[in-house]
Structure 1
Amino acid sequence: MILITDGGSTKCDWIAIDKDGKQTVDKIRTKGLNPAIVAEKKINKIIRKSKELMEIAEDVTHVYFYGAGCGTDKPRLLLQFILESYFVNAVVEVREDTYAAVRACINSNDEAAVVCILGTGSNCSYYDGANLHQRVSSLGFILMDDASGNYFGKQLIRDYFFNKMPDTIRVAFAHKHNLDADYIKFNVYKQTNPSAYLADHAEFMFINKDSEYISTLITKGIRLFSENMILQYKEELKAGTPVHFAGSIAYFAQKEIKEVAKEFGFKVGNFIRRPIEGLVSYHVNNL
């Protein structure tokens, strides 16, 4: 049995397939296992708490885990060690989530592409058809993550408290979320996964996309991400390399992304909401 995992900061989707590529159990979902921000003890607790994972653990022969926070050796190796302790009969491979986006988005294994992730966090890489290249080192959600869920969540909360929201949007936002100042500060500064907490507020934008305020907010974020991340690959873009997008924020912001792409002159490729679906196809074709 092969276990494929798309691990974000907010949640992880696990799909088990057999050697013929057939799904053997229903998709399993757990909380996020980002090893850069979630403590080792908490990661263990999340895995152990999943009855579905524990039931199939001994039957798993390969684990392909693609996760947020796995781009550097220390957190990646920590998570690999933890996974090996549960899936004792499996070969475990842990890669950063960018590889999941690449393998889910590209049309063929040797296709060159710029691949962006806009989910809870954000990232952008160039895949040359064989290897992945990143020209910006991620410094996490506090300093980076433009146009991500946590970026937009933060902007919404800031605009609410700075009285920059239109009255109708302000009322609707307060109705949907607990905006008590102490509650917000507790979740941002005292809890273990503030980026996921902030990102939870971003859904509000796509329920209210008809608002000029919301449309402007989304476009501003996409423009910032394009300037800081996508344009790192100017030469590749000039050669016609497509820019693919993965993640829920990108999926629901396709209109704004295409508008910004025209402004900056890059070619938009595929949009994948959930990379896990493309990963299954990739691994089935490469068994």
Structure 2
Amino acid sequence: MKLIAESGSTRTEWALVEDCHIVQRVFTEGLNPYFQTRREISRSVRLGLPELFFKKKLEQVYYYGAGCTTNEKKNILGASLVAQFKTPIQVESDLLAAARGLFQCEAGIACILGTGSNSCLYDGKIIIKNVRAGGYILGDEGSGAVLGKMFLSDALKGIAPKELVNDFYEKFRISANDVMESVYNRPFPNRFLSTISYFLADYLDSDYVYHMLTGNLRNFFVRNVCQYDYQNYPIRFVGSVAYSYADILRDVAEEFGVTLETIEETPMPGLIEFHALNIEEV
């Protein structure tokens, strides 16, 4: 039996897998070694997962996560998971999860649009090019966090429609001062910013919201997708924002001459298929 985990900054999906079949599937909070210590990660895993996950005899744990981009960060995650599962752990980035989940062993451009955003050119085995994501301050175009940041900036400066801003403050039960506190002084500001994208989804009939969303998605194509040889490879998307705004994402892609056939909410089904092939990982 294998345990496959895929974690963004907001949530982690865990799947106990026997051959190609999911024995049990659980969602817990997101993990990120850039924002959490080894001890905090261990505590989150132990308290978030059912006891069954720790009692099963596992051949291997495959963990893919946000922030797992260097050996140092991978080691933080790996040490935390080894302490909990007492079994071999393989830690890779959430970007490789997207590539393997979307393409398995085929070549293509894999894109993530969720709390954050990222992209890569994958040759069917490894990532051969990656336009640096930059995070929610310096990059993450097209993501939920950046969409939330754009709206809040407009709300605070009095640019966003007043009715929309009032609805936001009422539904979130916060004030402008609370917004500043959440962004600058509380943990995981990117998670807070990303939740606003779901609020905005109810206002797509507003020209303001529609143009802000399409502009954010165009920025992702211009600043990320177009940096690859994108006209000669299939392009596929994964992530909560890509999935929620799939129709609009397809329309924006068409502006760049791209037809999107695959937009998945999570890479897990493809990852299960990939690991069922028992490929010797690189």
Distance of aligned partners of 1:21 and 1:260 in 2 relative to their CA distance in 1, 3 Å threshold? closer
Hey, what's the Cα distance between the residues in 2 that align with 1:255 and 1:119? 16
Contact persistence 1:114–1:242 (CA under 8 A): yes
- Which of 140, 162, 171 is matched with 1:167 structurally? 162
Equivalent residue, structure 2, for 1:23: 22
Deviation of 1:163 (Å): 1.8
Which residue of 197, 201, 205 corresponds with 1:210? Answer: 205
Letter in 2 for 1:64: Y
2:81 to 80, 83, 90: 83
- Aligned mates of 1:56, 1:253 — CA distance in 2: 34
2:110 aligned with 1:115 = yes
Q: 2:230 aligns with which of 237, 240, 243?
A: 237
CA displacement at 1:51 relative to structure 2: 4.7
Aligned counterparts of 1:119 and 1:181: Cα–Cα separation in 2: 25
User: Is residue 177–residue 201 contact of structure 1 (8 Å, CA) maintained in 2?
Assistant: no
Aligned length in residues? 278
Closer/same/farther in 2, CA of residues 82 and 216 from structure 1, 3 Å limit: same
1:2-17 aligned at under 5 Å gives the runs 2-17=2-17
Q: Go from structure 1 to structure 2 and tell me whether the alpha carbon gap of 1:181 and 1:173 turns closer, same or farther (over 3 Å shift).
A: closer
Contact 1:237 1:267 survives alignment (8 Å): no
Q: How far 1:55 sits from its partner (Å)?
A: 3.3
Q: Which residue, 60, 63, 66 being the options, matches 1:68?
A: 66
Alpha-carbon spacing, 1:187–1:40, altered in 2? closer, same or farther (3 Å): farther
Conservation of the 8 A alpha-carbon contact between 1:104 and 1:272 = no
Q: Which runs of 5+ in 2 are unaligned?
A: none
Matches of residues 53-202 of structure 1 in structure 2 within 5 Å? 54-58=51-55, 59-88=57-86, 90-106=87-103, 109=105, 111-202=106-197
1:100-120 CA-to-partner distances (Å, cap 9, x unmatched) read: 1112212x51x2211110001
CA distance in 2 between partners of 1:154 and 1:273 (Å) = 22
Residue 259 of structure 1 and its aligned partner are, at CA, apart by 2.3
Counterparts of 1:249-268 in structure 2, within 5 Å, are 249-268=241-260
Q: Structure 2: how far apart are the matches of 1:188 and 1:170?
A: 17
Identity within the alignment, %: 31
Q: Which residue identity is paired with 1:244?
A: R
- Runs of 4+ in structure 1 over 4 Å off: none
Relative distance call for 1:55 and 1:262 in structure 2 (3 A) is closer
Question: What RMSD, in angstroms, separates the aligned Cα atoms of the two structures?
Answer: 1.8
Q: In structure 2, what residue type is equivalent to 1:277?
A: P
Please say if 1:220 is aligned against 2:215.
Answer: yes
1:80 to 1:38, Cα distance in 2 relative to 1, 3 A: same
Q: Give the TM-score, by structure 2 length.
A: 0.92
Residue 41 in structure 1 maps to residue 34 in structure 2: no
